Structure 1
């Protein structure tokens, strides 16, 4: 396929920015969702049985958009304050002492030492030297560290890759994605011959749409980069200069969704030479990205006679994000590598409790949240100093007693799982 087929008329796009009271009330009383200003759908898609899910999705997105700016400012302030404390010795008293002595260190947001909230929660940047390159779980352990470090600025990433991992830093792209509403959005497009794909993730990947479909080539400038096209072209250049090289794609959360869609769009655009050099896709805490037909399409591209089993979807325990969106349209596909609360790995077709809101798992979720809080207090004493959890992660664990599965989404547990569960993971992945 070359991506130039006639654009499918089958789609449903939610417009929370247009979701007024009248539009929401209409969704509650009529299955003709096309009359709601908050829903844009194909002419043949007026009758939608699950309009209640559409209603919940729009309301959730409206609330997230409403709090987006104040929460972003709050997050930026907290991040700066935590960097200020870290740069001045790691405590409020040390911060005050440095200020009184005129030795206050002011964080620079563009420096190799300025960390994101993710990086401050889990400060580990070194690879686990006990996991060798020949181990089956090596790329899984490397993948989550790469996914975690991707939250940082360019200077941090370059410093870690070159000076700590002793690898070659190729290129950095600042392609911002809108992450506030994506996971609760159930918008979708149908791509002919591929399946129905989550609309928010296609947008976050930087895919451009026109009347002919999803074009393989677009006009872009250095000031406005689109992730898919920028990464694809950089890969082509790098692989052309290194004929024996292969590449792996990885990502956490939204990044995981984009990681598995990337080869799907490569296949859509006929980039078979690139796909032939794809070693594997490793995702962590990935939400659902499309329907069963999309799964079949992706598996055909990633499970070929020449290269079998190249997609590995890691799910830690009750992580909430792999269990959304909750609309029945969106399915997981491929093999799931599931880690339980003791970081033991096992291969499954689907993670347990695939519907986060199921009452059948309520008790076990809360019990496990209590276990994770207790484990976090002692894990450094049991497994070594590198596993010690700071106060921010401990607060997050406490929040898990109210919303179980929320702190389980942090990269912290995925890093722990690939390291402490290396033996069981190696048995599962040693042949790949």
Structure 2
């Protein structure tokens, strides 16, 4: 693939560049394919974590009547939500403070208009997966028929929940009308796809097709990963053992296995303490902050 560009995008709410992505272009096939990839949360990146735990709701309106549901505010801000302006179709370009959605949209439009056969996909992991699924949502919000017709697929890995049921229904209708393939890959022991919680307090919902892989890396298509709001070390620690049976390509170094066990035990102790002394709602809130 031909490397096109990499980006450090500006977040107007954090007042710094905290969102990263890159683009590449496969010209080898008859139907040229452009790949847009959003970066996930870095382990020690406090700014990315701030986006993850910003649980404010943002409502997508078009006019006074039509509502497309509620969306995770932190992810919207990381994608390029503008202070006091929301998502205007036309924006004031600032090369010193580029916004992810607008820069990628304009670059894609330029390439696709010059190449009639070219299509594109969007992908990302963790936080990047959340930005991946929200990118076409804003394209639809702007009625960007050109890009939506050339969007071949959306593939996310370890993606958290991004909105409520109304938003999910809207997105499924959008993908159906434009024949866009959406696949959400989930590994069994991953906590991130189980956050934010799908319960009466948070009301976040997954949507689309989930490709779920168990601890033996055997995949199956499901509507929702098992234990959608539950994560226990006593369930996950034993499941790490079979990873050593599939050969060196799947085996974790000893230090990572130790850290996995320690992290899960500390997680269990912490949420148990919060549950006892502060109640289940506090437990959900703080366990989300820790693990995201």
Q: Which TM-score applies when normalising by structure 1?
A: 0.49
The structure 2 residue matched to 1:230, chosen from 98, 103, 111, is 103
Does 2:134 match 1:261? Answer: yes
Does 2:231 match 1:371? Answer: no
Residues 283 and 312, structure 1, Cα contact 8 Å, conserved in 2: yes
**Pairing 1:55-70 to 2, within 5 Å after superposition:** none
Specify which structure has the higher proportion of strand. Answer: 2
1:130-186 deviation line (CA, Å, top 9, x unaligned)? xxxxxxxxxxxxxxxxxxxxxxxxxxxxxxxxxxxxx11111111223312333332
* Alpha-carbon spacing, 1:336–1:221, altered in 2? closer, same or farther (3 Å): same
Q: Which residue of 1 aligns with 2:184?
A: 313
The structure 2 residue matched to 1:207, chosen from 81, 90, 93, is 81
Q: Which ranges in structure 1 are unaligned for 5 or more consecutive residues?
A: 1-166, 406-432
Q: Which residue of 2 aligns with 1:339?
A: 213
| Residue 253 (structure 1) shift | 0.5
Q: What is the rounded CA distance, in whole Å, between the counterparts of 1:391 and 1:223 in structure 2? A: 44
* Alpha-carbon spacing, 1:189–1:401, altered in 2? closer, same or farther (3 Å): closer
Q: Which ranges in structure 2 are unaligned for 5 or more consecutive residues?
A: 10-17, 20-46, 62-66, 269-292
Q: Which residue of 2 aligns with 1:419?
A: none
The structure 1 residue matched to 2:168, chosen from 276, 295, 299, is 295
Q: Which residue of 2 aligns with 1:187?
A: 56
Q: What is the rounded CA distance, in whole Å, between the counterparts of 2:148 and 2:52 in structure 1? A: 27
Q: Which residue of 2 aligns with 1:394?
A: 257
SS of the residue corresponding to residue 194 of structure 1 reads strand
The structure 1 residue matched to 2:195, chosen from 324, 346, 354, is 324
- Comparing 237-246 with 344-353, which one deviates more in the overlay? 237-246
* Alpha-carbon spacing, 1:401–1:190, altered in 2? closer, same or farther (3 Å): closer
Specify which structure has the higher proportion of helix. Answer: 1
**Pairing 1:26-65 to 2, within 5 Å after superposition:** none
Q: Which residue of 2 aligns with 1:271?
A: 144
Residues 125 and 159, structure 2, Cα contact 8 Å, conserved in 1: yes
The alignment yields a C-alpha RMSD, in angstroms, of 2.2
Does 2:247 match 1:383? Answer: yes
Q: Which TM-score applies when normalising by structure 2?
A: 0.70
| Residue 404 (structure 1) shift | 7.3
Residues 284 and 313, structure 1, Cα contact 8 Å, conserved in 2: yes
Residues 252 and 283, structure 1, Cα contact 8 Å, conserved in 2: yes
**Pairing 1:69-148 to 2, within 5 Å after superposition:** none
1:352-372 deviation line (CA, Å, top 9, x unaligned)? 111126xxxx4xx52432331
Residues 161 and 193, structure 2, Cα contact 8 Å, conserved in 1: yes
SS of the residue corresponding to residue 251 of structure 1 reads strand
| Residue 228 (structure 1) shift | 0.7
Residues 161 and 195, structure 2, Cα contact 8 Å, conserved in 1: yes
Residues 215 and 242, structure 2, Cα contact 8 Å, conserved in 1: no
Q: What is the rounded CA distance, in whole Å, between the counterparts of 2:75 and 2:158 in structure 1? A: 15
Larger radius of gyration: 1
SS of the residue corresponding to residue 227 of structure 2 reads coil
| Residue 223 (structure 1) shift | 1.8
Residues 216 and 242, structure 2, Cα contact 8 Å, conserved in 1: no
